[in-house]
Every structure is written in C-alpha cells, then in structure tokens.
Structure 1
Amino acid sequence: MTTAPALIPELDDIVRRGDPKRRADAARRISELFLQGAANFRADHVDLFDGVLTSLVPHAELAARIDLAERLSLLANAPRHLVGQLAHEDEIAIAGPLLRRSPVIDERALIEIANEKGQGHLLAMAERPKLSIGLTDVLVRRGDRDVIRCAAGNAGAAFSDDSFSTLISRANMDGVLTLKIGRRDDLPPEHLKSLLAGSIDVIRRRLHDVVKPERQAEIKRALNEIDGITEHVPGGRDFAPAQRTILALHRAGGLNEAALLEFAKAFKYEECVAALAAMTGVKIATLDRLITGDRYDPILIASKTIGLEWVTVRALILMRLGPNRVVAPADIEGARVNFARLMPSTAQRVVDFWKSR
C-alpha cells in the first residue's frame, strides 16, 4: 500500500524523529486519510494504518483525539490497537465513545479497563448494546449508583446469579433500581421474590403497573407467597406469628439492629430467628436448627455478616440460653473475643453455604 507514504513522503522520519508538532500534524492527516477510505480498505491496509497511528495519535491535540475516537467508534473495521489505546485513555471524552459502542474492543480489554478505570468509564461500558456476564460482574462489584442503574436497565446485559443477588441487595434502598431489575425478562423467579420482599408497597405497585402482563402474574404469585408466610418449620415452634411481625416491621422500615436487640432482650426467640432470617437471607428452619445446637457460633457468624454490634450479639447469646440460665463471665468473654476475630468474609462464606442447603 502506497497511499500513506505518498501523502507524507517523510512519514518514516516523522515517526522516528519528528518533533511533537510534526507528529500531531501527521496524525491528523493520516487519520483523515483512513476515515475517508475506511469502507474500501482491506484488513492488511487497516493494519498498516494501525501501526502508524498508534505511534502518532498520542501526540495529537486533545480535541483531535476526541473527534477521532468518536468517528472510530462507529467503524466495524477500525484499527484495533489504536482503538484499544484510545479506550484506555483517562480522559472520558476520548475513551467514552469507544467504550459505549465500538465493536472492535474485545471482552478481555473491556474487563481490564473496567477493573482499572473510574466510574465514568464504567458508566460508558454499561451503555454498550451487549454486556457479558464477565463484564457485568465487574460493573456490579465496582459501579456506583448510576453505573448499577444503567447496567440493570440494559436489556442486552447478562448477569450471573451472584450479580443478581448484589443488585437486589442494593435495590433495598433504591426504588429506581428496583423497577429496572423487576422489568428484566431474565430475572429468575427466586430473585423476583427477594426483590419484592425488600421493597415497600408503593414500589411494588409501581412495578406491577409497568411490567408485562406475564410478569404481573409472577409478581402476584410472589407477593402471595410473601404475604401468606408459606415457610413451614418442622418441629414444635410456630414461627408464623413472628414472621408476620417481622414482615410488618420490614414494610414500615423498622427492621434493624435496634429492633432485633429489643426482641433479644425480651427473650422472644421466634422473632429473633425470623428477624435474623430476613436480614441474612438464610431460611428460618436452617437458622432454628443451627441456633438450638450446642454452640453459639451460628449466632456469631450470622451477626458478623450483617454488621451487628457486640451488645446485640451478646443479647442474642443470652436469649438463646433463656432467661433462667446464669452465664459464666469467662464464656461471654470467650464469645466476644471469637466474634472480634471472626472475619466478615469467612462468616459470609459460611452463610452462603447455609443458604445453599
């Protein structure tokens, strides 16, 4: 191919030894040559431009690089290395258009950028027509509110089960995010139920009004299960009244550590277990079986994952033993030390195991 040298005969010398001004001018002229003929270039032609422009474009002015990135973002045969170079720029006005829509950036590069760059880059990627599970895992883990909302509302995005769980957890305090998640066609029924359980009535009604008819039927079934207290716990304890109490407390926005502490101080076992189940996501039957065992470890583990203070954990341990038991100070101190040493990540792994059983 001879067009580039013909346009700038001294190109090789400019690339090797040219001053920044000459390189910037060459970058502008070669970029324009490529953009004008891109539709007719073969792959080897594009590779030639790629090699030249990756050396010259960094010397171009900011406005020129912004314009080039915007125009390259629309081309299916844009120079791959040049696009990658521009997409890694810290300046979001340059990287943004390419991250939003360039078809030549592969998933590996996108994930690499998502792990390294800031929220502006993440938001641009969240707007891509298609988002892989690998990419959304990073967006959900690192993204702020705007990134999360954008990704959740992207019909072309795919999410892992863990990412859905994280989205739903973050939606508890975000009605806009709740509506975006609830309208997704790929939302599994069990996650829809969790989403609704953590939402206030006005958001539930709004979601019911905006989704498709088939999703409306799913919402009604899920709400019937939630309101009907369907979980049955084998054995002698009846948790249904406690579940209704906790559900009403949750809807009123009062299900928190202070409420749990009051239940524990009053030795209300069923309410404590039902509250811990709602706050950790572990089934009541599982928690009941664990807490009534020989050790207090399950209380420490569950409490650590939801960030309870020691005063509440201590009250739960005393509640488990009952109002007529005298506890040795050494035992309580041993529990305090173990709770302080327990890592949240370790506790969460155990709780995740309980959930899967």
Structure 2
Amino acid sequence: MAAAVSALPELDEIVSSGDVRRQVEVVRKLSDLFAEGAAHFKPQHVELFDGILIGLVPLVEVDVRARLAEQLAPIPNAPPSLVGLLVHEDEIAIAGPILRASPQVDEPTLIEIASSKGQSHLFAITERASLAPGVTDVIIRRGDQDVVRSVASNSGARFSPNGYSGLITRASDDGVLALAVGRRHDINQQQLKELLEHSADIVRRRLFDMASPTRKVAINQAMIGIGSGPASRNGARDFARAQREILTLSLAEQLDESALLAFAKEHKYEETVAALSVMTGVSLTIIDNLMRGDRHDPILIMGKSLGLQWPTVRAVIIVRVGPGRPQPTVPEMEEARQNYERLVSATAQRVLKFWQKRPGTGGGAEN
C-alpha cells in the first residue's frame, strides 16, 4: 500500500500547487487504485485514502467528482469522510450515485438531505434498495409527483401509518400512484379499502386485473365493504347492490355482452350502468349522467367502443328511457341504428378515453 502511494511522486506539492491537470490525474489514479483493491484494504489503508482524497476532491471539476462518486457508491468500506463530502453536494451528478447506492449513508443523513435538498436528490433517495419509515415520511411530505410515485413503487421502502395515509391522500387524484400503492405487498386491508374508496373506477378495475389471486380476494372484500356504505346522495340511485353483483360477475369472468343484454332486457338500470362502468373503465357517475341525458349518442359511442351488437345497444337505449315511459319511435330507433353503423370504432375509442380521464364528480351516482 505504501509503495502504491509512493508511486505518485511529489504528492504534497501537487496538492498545494494549484495545477488542476495534475490534481485531476492524482484523483483518478487514487480512485482507480482504491476501487480495484478495496476488498483487501485494512482500516488504516482506507483512512490513508480518505486523508489524501478529502483534500484533493474539492479542487477538481464536477465530472471528476461524479466519476469518483460512481466508483465509491457500491463499495462498503469506501472512505467515510469522502463519502460524507460527496453525498452533501448540490450537484446531483455527484450526490446521486451515493444517495442511490452507498451503504455508508445512514438514516439520519438521508433524513437531513431529504429535508433540505431538491427534488432530484429526493428522487435519487427513492431508488435505494431499502428505506426506513423515517426517510419515507419526509419524502412523501416534500416530494413532487414523480418522487412520490417512485418511492411507492420501491418494494424495499417501508412506511409508517402516517406515511401510508399521506400516500393514500395523494393517490386520490393520481391514478398512477394509486396503482403503485395498491400493488404493494405491505398494504393492509384497511389501507387498501381507503385507497379504493378514493380511487376512480378505472383504477379499481386495473388494480384488480393486475392483482394476484390472493390480492384479488382482498380487493373484492374491500370493494364489498365500500359498496355496502351509503350510496345515494341527494336522492340519487343506490348502486351498492348492483356494484356487488357486477363485481361478483367480473370476478367469475362472466361479465360480457350477454350479461349486459340480460340486465338491459330486464330493465335493471343500476346493473346496466354498473356493468357499463366496469366494461368501459369509465366512472360510474359519468356513465349514469350520460345515460340520463337527452341523447342516445353516448350509448352508441360506448357500444361501438366495446364492439357490441346492435340488439344490445338497442336494449340499453330502451333501459335508459325506462319502463312505463314513452319509448323511442321506430324512425328514431332506425336513425340511431344507422348512426351506430356509420360510427367509426376509432372515433368512439377516442371519446371513451376522454371520459375515462374525467373525474367522476357530480350527477349523484357513487363512484
């Protein structure tokens, strides 16, 4: 070790000379030497490297320090003072590798940096192999959308009850985050219920579709719990029972066009709306509002986007009007049929995507 260091002639003179080119050369040589032999160095050797580099590194350019950080980040016995210097850098190219991977960075340091640095530093922290609840609490409180999505997707991150509460609150208007939180293995049943309760129907459906068999059971139980709550607001229809029935059909993979047609023929409005909501991925509230509108066009669009046959679309139009009320005239229904045949599937899909992105507010039906 001593021989290796002595191979760098006039080290003291180089450090104090101000010759940037020679200082960079020394830093590169020493960092390469340490990276190659770190596994075999004793503590006194690491201390020697620490003492030399801590004086040189602040003098060299950002790209040289960034390269050094990349080399040292995965090394368990990297020079501790040097790691502490690099991790506090404002330049994310330097601090980032250390924040992402260095085992030398402890929880208090991560909390300190998460509390004081910018979003790029926070994002780098979210990519660590493991994160303690004290760190994730700060990240959820200070992080922007990308940062919070990243930490929610990190299977090695752990969250306090307050942390999970923060995730669920932020997921209420962020479907991507809701999906990330809902897929976590450490979310408990109550937290899952709260998440689903504040999520759009399309998010609930996607969570279910991507879930393991065990998680599907948990989602089913949570949805039943949500559905059993008060569904009517301001005199609106109560969709709770219909939602439970549709969920059961969906779980059994029996929710298809024939089931929809059967509901419509029996004039089961709530079941028809709930089925259309699940099949299209559009909020139940929006489907209800569209069904109660003055025109048949939304039903034609939904039908075309799902590839439904005209008899099914016709039955949905009739259930929209309701039994005991004047039904569409023959010319009116024929016009609707012709419009349905002319409607281009791609156009219907574009409109459906717009509806899927709309929040399910207003109208009175439960989301």
Which TM bucket (shorter chain)? 0.5 to 0.7
- Equivalent residue, structure 2, for 1:169: 169
Q: Match for residue 73 of structure 1?
A: 73
Unaligned runs of 5+ in 2: 240-282, 287-367
User: 1:130-209 to 2 correspondence within 5 Å?
Assistant: 130-209=130-209
Q: Conserved in 2, the CA contact under 8 Å of 1:28 and 1:60? A: no
User: Displacement of 1:152 after TM fit?
Assistant: 0.3
The Cα of 1:32 is off from its aligned counterpart by 2.4
Q: Percent identity?
A: 49
Q: Of residues 239, 252, 260 in structure 1, which corresponds to 2:285? A: 252
Letter in 2 for 1:170: R
Partner of 1:115: 115
**Counterpart check, 1:99 vs 2:99:** yes
In the other structure, the counterpart of 1:211 is: 211
Whole-Å separation in 2 of the counterparts to 1:26 and 1:104: 24
- The answer to whether the aligner puts 1:19 opposite 2:52 as a matched pair is no
8 Å CA contact 1:88, 1:95 repeated in 2 = yes
- The one-letter code matched in structure 2 to 1:157 is A
Report if the CA contact (8 A) 1:129-1:156 is conserved: yes
- Alpha-carbon contact 1:4-1:30 (below 8 Å) kept: no
What's the TM-score once normalised by structure 1's chain length? 0.63
CA distance in 2, matches of 1:172, 1:182: 12
Matches within 5 A, 1:189-338: 189-229=189-229, 241-242=232-233, 245=236, 252=285
Contact 2:231/2:238, CA 8 A, preserved across alignment: no
Question: Structure 1 residues 74 and 220, CA, compared in 2 at 3 Å: closer, same or farther?
Answer: same
Compared with structure 1, are the counterparts of its residues 243 and 224 closer, same or farther at alpha carbon in structure 2 (3 Å cutoff)? farther
TM-superposition CA deviations, 1:220-276 (whole Å, max 9, x none): 1111111111xxxxxxxxx7754995997x9638xxxxxxxxxxxxxxxxxxxxxxx
Matches within 5 A, 1:346-357: none
Q: Find the counterpart in structure 1 of residue 87 from structure 2.
A: 87
Greater RCO, 1 or 2 (C-alpha within 8 Å, sep 6+): 2
Q: In 2, distance between residues paired with 1:201 and 1:247?
A: 16
Shift in CA distance, 85/247, structure 1 to aligned 2, threshold 3 Å: farther
- Once the two structures are TM-superposed, the CA of residue 25 in structure 1 deviates from its matched residue by 3.2
Q: Provide the rounded CA distance (Å) in 1 between the counterparts of 2:232 and 2:238.
A: 10
CA distance in 2: counterparts of 1:72 and 1:32, whole angstroms: 10
CA distance in 2, matches of 1:31, 1:241: 68
CA 1:251/1:136 → structure 2, altered by over 3 Å: closer, same or farther? Answer: farther
- Letter matched to residue 50 of structure 1: D
Aligned residues, how many? 243
**Does the 8 A contact of 2:92 with 2:121 survive in 1?**
yes
Q: Which amino acid aligns with 2:58?
A: P
TM-score relative to the length of structure 2: 0.62
2 CA distance for matches of 1:92 and 1:201? Answer: 39
- Rounded to whole Å, the distance in 2 between the matches of 1:156 and 1:39 is 26
Once residues 217 and 44 of structure 1 are traced to their aligned partners in structure 2, the CA distance between those partners, rounded to angstroms, is 57
Q: Using a 3 Å threshold, how does the CA distance of structure 1 residues 66 and 113 change in structure 2: closer, same or farther?
A: same
For structure 1, which segment, 135-144 or 31-40, has the greater mean C-alpha deviation from structure 2 after superposition?
A: 31-40
Equivalences for residues 40-79 of structure 1 within 5 A? 40-79=40-79
* Superposed displacement of residue 196, structure 1: 0.4
The alpha-carbon distance between structure 1 residues 243 and 77, as it changes in their structure 2 partners (threshold 3 A), is farther
Q: Unaligned regions of 5+ residues in structure 1, if any?
A: 230-238, 254-357
